[in-house]
Amino acid sequence: MAGGIGGSLAGRTLGILGYGRHGRPIARLAEAFGMKVIAWDRTGTRPKPDEFGVRRIPLDDLLERSDIVSIHLRLSDESRGLMDREKLWKMKPGAILINTSRGAIIDEAALIDALRAKRIAGAGLDVFAVEPLPSSSPLRTMSNVLLTPHVGWQVRDVFHEFVEIAADQLDAWLKNELPKSDVLNPDAMQTDRPRSGELGK
């Protein structure tokens, strides 16, 4: 993002969409910079702050209160297009939107309109609705947008973690058990394919 003198993070409010495996570490980093952290409560069942003092609140309230909104959601029927024009216009004027999750969570056309109208101060995008981002996209030339490639996860430790997750899920499937890690297609665990004790029969 171009021009002007930057500001401090201390005292600002970070709103996290997706306060789980990826969102929680971001909250710890933000707190180290003196930020206040709030998270989206999708269930309405967590009125009290968690052990780190992070309060979960309704989405509209979060958007109105956050100086920075950071997205860490899985792409699903619930999250696809979540940040549409209505939600973007609920953000605090001067706020910054960051998406390192999945591009389809944001209505890109509505985001471009919000950025052009200076309805929000800027956006940091690591993912896009169409990847690679088309050369004709206005996002490529906007002074209030920072674009980065989605390659931060490509480190040795993450690949080791992927192998461990795959092995855990295969082992659980062979034993007809639920794996310790999340399964994106749980119906696959219910198939009638032979398990380890049946292989070769």
d(CA 126, CA 147) in angstroms, rounded, equals 6
Could you confirm whether 160 is annotated as catalytic? no
CA distances from 1 to 6, 88, 140, 146, 180 (A): 10, 19, 11, 6, 41
* pLDDT tens, the chain, 201 aa long: 555 677 889 999 999 999 998 999 999 999 999 999 999 988 877 778 888 899 999 999 999 999 999 999 999 999 999 999 999 999 999 999 999 999 999 999 999 999 999 999 999 999 999 999 999 999 999 999 999 987 766 678 767 777 888 888 888 878 888 776 666 666 666 655 555 555 554
d(CA 39, CA 70) in angstroms, rounded, equals 10
Which pLDDT belongs to residue 189? 61
Catalytic one of 78, 86, 131, 177: 131
Catalytic one of 56, 72, 102, 108: 102
The residue count of the chain comes to: 201
d(CA 143, CA 145) in angstroms, rounded, equals 6
The phi and psi torsions of 170 (rounded to 5 degrees) equal -65, -45
Which pLDDT belongs to residue 34? 96
d(CA 190, CA 188) in angstroms, rounded, equals 5
Could you confirm whether 85 is annotated as catalytic? no
Domains, the chain, with CATH or none: 13-147 (3.40.50.720), 156-190 (no CATH)
The sheet carrying 145-147 orders its strands as 55-57, 36-40, 13-17, 68-71, 96-99, 122-125, 145-147
- Identify whether the C-beta of residue 144 lies closer than 8 Å to the C-beta of residue 4: no
The phi and psi torsions of 128 (rounded to 5 degrees) equal -140, 160
Could you confirm whether 102 is annotated as catalytic? yes
Catalytic one of 12, 46, 74, 150: 150
